[in-house]
Structure 1
Amino acid sequence: MEGKEQSYGENDAFVIEPRGIEHIPEDQRYGKVRKLFNVWFASNLHLSVWTIGALGITLGLNFIGALTSILTGTFLGAVVVGLSVAMGPKLGMPQMPQSRASFGYHGNFVPAILSWLNFLGWFTVNNILGGLAMKEALHVPYLVSMLIISLVTIVLALYGHNLIHGFERIMTWVVGLIFLVMTFVMLAHHGQTGAIPHHNSPVVWLTEFTVMFSYAVGWSPYGADYGRYLPQTTRIRGPVWITTFGLFISIAWVSVVGAALAAGFNGAAPITLIGKTMGWFSVVAYVGLALGSMSSNVLNIYSGSLAALTFGLPLKRWTSAILIGGVSIVLSLIFSSEGKAVDFLQNFLLFLVYWVTPWFGVQAVEFYINKRTRIDNVLDFYRPRGPMAGIRWKGLGSFIIGFVVSIPFMASAIYTGPIGHALKGADISYFVSGIVAGGLYYLFTISERRSRRASLHLARPTVDQ
C-alpha cells in the first residue's frame, strides 16, 4: 500500500486526495448513494454519445428502430456498470485492483493495462470534440481551446475524488439545462424525417443495439472508483440502480436526440448543426458541449491514474494523472480533426472494449457468487508476494478463452469475424465472451466454493441443544 494515511473527509474538495488505490478504512467512509447519479449523468452529456445515437439512422433504421435499440442496449450496459459500482462500498477500493482476487496480483496487469489504454483513448476523443466545440464558442485556434479544457480537466482530476463529485454535481445542472434547451430548439427546427431511406432490418437494429451496449458497458472498469468512499453498510441495490438510472437517462437522452436530428437533417455533423439551428444560443451550446466533454474526461484521467498504479507504474496518483493528461494532449494534437482521424480512434476504442465483458464475467462471479472479495483480508490485495501473488490462471484463463471464443462473432470497423460477417455486421461477441468467461470461471472455482463453505461451517460456534 502506497503513501501515508492522511485525513480526507467529505468537505475536503480543494484538498488533493492523499490516497491512490489504497483501501479506505470504514471509519473514514462518508457520503450518500444519491451522489453517484451526478457522476454517471453528467459524464455522458457530450458529442461522442450524440454521434453513436445517430449511427442507427445512418445505417438505415427509422426513428422507432433507432429508439428501441438505443434504449435496450443502453439499459443493459448501464446495469452492468451499476453492478461494478456496487463493489466499491463493500471493498472500499478502486475497481481494477479488485480483480486481483481472480486474476492474481500480476495476472491483473492485463486488464489494468487494457483499461488504461481505454481511458487514454476516450480522453483523446472527448478532448478533441470538446476542443472543437470550445473553438466555435470562443473563436480561438483549436490549440488554445483544446489546451484550456485539457488543463482544467487535469487540475480537477489531480485534486481527486471529492472535487470530481462536486464538479459533476454542478455539471448535472449546468450542462443538463443547456442540453434541455438545445433539445427543444433543434427538434423544433428539424427537417423532414425520412431524408435517408429507412427500414427496421433486425440485423441493423442489432448492430445499433450492440454499439449502444458496448459504449455503456465500457464504463464498468471505472465503476467502483467513485463509490469506494461510501460506508461499507451501503446496500448493493442502491449503487446499482442509482448508477443505472444516471447512465441510462443521460446516454439515452443524448443518443435519441442524435438519432432524431440525424433523421431530420440527413446526418449533418453536430457542430455544424448547432451553428445552423441555435442562433445566438449556439455559443452557450458549444460551451455546454465542451463542459460535457470535461465531465467525461475528468473520469478518464482519474480512473486512468488508478489503473496505472494497479499495473505498477511507480508514481503517486496525482503525478499519474498529470502523465495521462499530458499524453492525451499530444494525441489530441495528432488526431486534431473531426473527420477520419477521430472516426478511426473512436472505432478503435469500440474495438478495444471487447475485453470488458469477459473481464466483468469473471469479476462478477468472484464478487457476487464466490464472495471471496467480500470476506478475505482486504490487505491481501496489496501484497505482491501475498495470497494473491503471481497469476491466477483460473481467472486469467477464463478471461482469455472467453475473448478468443468470441472473436468469430466480432463485427467492427477494424475486424469482422466469420459469424459477424454471416450476421451482416450484427455483433453479439460481447455477450458470448462475457457468458463464456463467467461460466468457465464458475466451473473452475466450484471446489474452492465448496471448501470455503465447509470451512465457514466448521468455524461457526455450536449451540447446545
Structure 2
Amino acid sequence: MSGSPVSAHAAEASGGLAIEGHSIDYIPENERHAKLSSQGPFWFLGNFHFFTISIGFVGPSLGLSALWTLLAGALGIMFGTLFMAFHGSQGPEMGLPQMIQSRAQFGYRGVILALMATMFVFVGFNVVNISLIMNGLEHVFGIDPTIVAVAVVLIGALLSIYGHDLMHKAFKWALLATLPLYALVTIALMFGAGSEGVTPATDLGFNWVAFATLFAIGASYNISYAPYVSDYSRYLPKNTSRAKLIAAVFIGASLSGSWMIGLGAWLAQELKAADALVALNQVGSSMVPGLGNLLVIVSVAGFLPIIALNTYSAMLTLLTGVDSIKKITPTPRARVLSISVISVILLTCVLSIKGDGIALLNTFLVLLLYFLVPWTAVNLVDYFFVRKGRYAIPHFFTPKGIYGAWQFRGIVSYLIGFASMVPFFYIFDAAAGKEVFVGPLARVLEGVDIAWLVGLVVSGLTYYLLSRSIDLAAERRVIDALSESDIVAMTHSSAEAGR
C-alpha cells in the first residue's frame, strides 16, 4: 500500500518509535492492533487541556456567569460530541481516514471542497493553540514567543511523522501527568486558592446571545473532531462494537470538555483570568511555591500531542487532496514531506497573526462551525441513512469507480446548506468589541446564532432527498463481490498504479 511501509505490528514491537507505514490507505484487518479501551482516555485528553479552559473564559467575556457558562458549554460539548462519536464509529468498520471515505459523497475529485474546509480546521486550530502557548509562556517565564513557536511546531511535526502508535502513547502519558494536577487545581479553587487580593466579577449574569454563542462554541469545538476522529479509530478490529465505541468517545470527550470549560469559567469569574497558563500559575503558586511553574510546564507538555494530532490529520487531508488531483503513492517520504510543508505554513501563520488569544479563539470556533456543519450532515446522513455503512473500499481510490470523480449530490448539498446559513451568521470580534458580520435573520433574532442548526437540517435533508436517485442495489452487488483479500489487493494495486 505504501512504498516500503513499516507495518503497524513492527511499530508496536519497536515501542512505537517506527514511522507509521500507513497514511491515506486502507488498514488490513490483520493490522488492526488497537484496543477499544484506549479510545475513552484518548478523547478525554483530547479536551483535557488549557485550550479548553480558555473556552470557559469566553462566557464571562460576553457577560455570562460561570454557572451559565458551564451549562451552555457542557450542553454544546455534548451536542457536538454526538457527531464526533458517530464519525468515530466509521473507523473500525472501514479502516480508512475520514476524508477518504468522504469521496463517496463528494466524488474522488469533488472531495477537495470538503478538504479545504477541514484543512482550515486543522491549521486554524494549531494557529490558535500555539498562539495561546506563546502568550502564556511569555507572560509566565518571559520566553521569546518565536522560540516557543518553532519548538512547539517541531515537536508536533516529529510526533505526527512517527504517527498513530507513538501518538497514542504520548496521549496516555500526557493524561497521567495532567489529570492529578488539574484535579488539584479544581479542588483548590473551591477553597479560594489564587483569589487573594482579587475582587470576583459581580456584573455577570445571563443573556440569550451569550448563552447561544457558548453553546455554538462548545458544539463546534467537538464537531471539529468529526473530520478526523476515525483517523484514530481505524486501527480497531472491524468487529468492534459500534455502540461501545460511540459511548467511549462520547463519555471521554464530553466529561473532559465540560470539566475544563467549567474550570475556565470559574477562573475568569473569580480571578478575572484572561490567560489559562497565567491563571494556572497563579493558582499553583498560591498553594505551594514553585507549583505554579510546574503546572504551566506540565500543561504545555501535555498539550503537545494535541498539536501533533492536528498536524497528523492535516497531513492526511493534504495527501488526500493531492491524490485527488494527481495519483500519489503514500510512502513515508510523502508523509514527511507533507508534514514539513504543513509545519512551515503553520509557523508562518503563527508568527504573522497577532492579537488577543481569547478573542481569536471565539471568532475561530464560530467560523469553523459554519464550514464543518454542512459536511458532517452530508457524511453522517450518507453513512447511517443512505448507504448504511456499506461501501466498496477499492472504489475510493479511483475516479473511475462507482463513486466517480464528482458527486453532485454531496457538493450541491454542502453549498445549499452553507448558503442557507449565511442569513443567520453572527460573527463578533470580541477584541475590537464590534460585529464583523450579522445576517439579516440573525439581526431579527437579536444576535442568537442558530446558523449551525439551519446548516445541519438543510444540508442533511437536501442530501437525503438527492440520494434517493442512487442505485444502491447495483452498489451492493459490487460490494458483495469483494472479499478482504480483494480489498487489500485492489487498494494496493491502486496505490502503485497511475491513472
Distance 1:173 1:381, change over 3 A: same
Deviations 1:369-400 (A, max 9, x none): 2226x433201101133222321001111111
Shift of residue 340, structure 1, vs aligned partner: 3.1
The code of the aligned residue for 2:44 comes to: F
CA distance in 1, matches of 2:160, 2:373: 26
Equivalent position SS for 2:69? helix
Q: Name the residue aligned to 2:322.
A: 312
Query: What's 2:342 paired with?
Result: 324
Q: Following TM superposition, by how much is the alpha carbon of 1:297 offset from its aligned partner in structure 2, in angstroms?
A: 0.9
In the TM superposition, residue 321 of structure 1 has moved relative to its aligned partner by 1.6
Provide structure 1 residue ranges, at least 5 long, that are not aligned to the other structure.
Answer: 460-465
Asked whether the 8 Å contact 1:203–1:423 carries over to 2, the reply is: no
Deviation at 1:77, TM superposition (A): 0.6
- Distance in 1, Cα, partners of 2:455 & 2:368: 14
1:462 alignment partner in structure 2: none
Which residue in 2 is equivalent to 1:116? 119
After TM superposition, the structure 1 stretch with the greater mean CA deviation from structure 2, 415-424 or 297-306, is: 415-424
Contact residue 6 and residue 19 of structure 2 kept, 8 A? no
In 1, distance between residues paired with 2:141 and 2:3?
42
Matched, 1:260 2:282: no
Matched, 1:438 2:456: no
Shift of residue 358, structure 1, vs aligned partner: 1.1
Question: 1:189 corresponds to which residue?
Answer: 193
Contact 1:130/1:291 (8 A) holds in 2:
no
1:423 aligned to 2:445?
yes
- The C-alpha deviation readout for 1:18-50, integer Å capped at 9, x for no partner, is 111000111211221121123212222333312
The equivalent residue for 1:270 is 276
Q: Aligned residues: percent identity?
A: 27
Which residue among 173, 178, 183 is the counterpart of 2:181? 178
* Of 292, 297, 307, the match for 2:307: 297
Cα distance, 1:230 vs. partner? 0.6
The aligned residue for residue 3 of structure 2 is 3
Distance 2:158 2:476 in 1: 50
CA distance in 1, matches of 2:393, 2:5: 16
Note if contact 1:119-1:304 (Cα within 8 Å) is conserved in structure 2.
yes
Superposed displacement of residue 2, structure 1: 4.8
Aligned length: 455
1:388 to 403, 411, 431: 403
Task: Map residues 92-171 of structure 1 onto 2, 5 A cutoff.
Answer: 92-135=95-138, 139-171=142-174
Q: Secondary structure at the match of 1:189?
A: coil
User: Which whole-Å deviations, capped at 9, do the CAs of 1:270-295 have from their partners, x for residues lacking one?
Assistant: 34333433212111111122124312
Match of 1:407 among 422, 425, 428: 422
Residue of structure 1 in register with 2:91 after alignment: 88
Are 1:284 and 2:302 matched, yes or no? no
Q: Higher mean Cα deviation, 210-219 or 410-419? A: 410-419
Picking from 339, 359, 368, the partner of 1:352 is: 368
Residues in 1 aligned to 2:418 and 2:22: alpha-carbon distance in whole angstroms: 33
Pairwise CA RMSD: 2.5
Q: Which amino acid aligns with 1:407?
A: V
CA distance in structure 1 between the aligned counterparts of 2:394 and 2:476, rounded to whole angstroms: 24
Does the aligned pair in 2 maintain the 1:190–1:261 contact within 8 Å? no
Compared CA separation, residues 46 and 87, structure 1 to 2 (3 A) = same
Task: Provide the C-alpha distance between the structure 1 equivalents of 2:346 and 2:394, rounded to a whole number of angstroms.
Answer: 33
Q: Which amino acid aligns with 1:189?
A: A
Deviations 1:425-460 (A, max 9, x none): 22111111111111111111124366469979x99x
- Which deviations, in whole Å up to 9, do the C-alpha atoms of 1:245-298 show, x marking residues without a partner? 111112111110011111112344334333433212111111122124312111
Deviation larger for 388-397 or 177-186: 177-186
**Which runs of 5 or more structure 2 residues have no equivalent in the other structure?**
429-435, 482-499
Cα 1:24–1:453 change in 2 (3 A) is closer
Give the structure-2-normalised TM-score.
0.85
Change (3 A) 1:213 1:221: same
Instruction: Find 1:376's aligned residue among 388, 391, 395.
Output: 391
Alpha carbons 1:60, 1:196 under 8 Å: kept: no
| Corresponding position of 2:496 | none
Alignment of 1:201 with 2:207, yes or no, is yes
Q: Does residue 23 of structure 1 match 2:26?
A: yes
TM-score by length of 1: 0.91
Matched AA of 2:425: M
Report the 3-state secondary structure (helix = DSSP H, G, I; strand = E; otherwise coil) of the residue aligned with 2:426.
Answer: coil
Tell me, what secondary structure is at the counterpart of 1:412?
strand
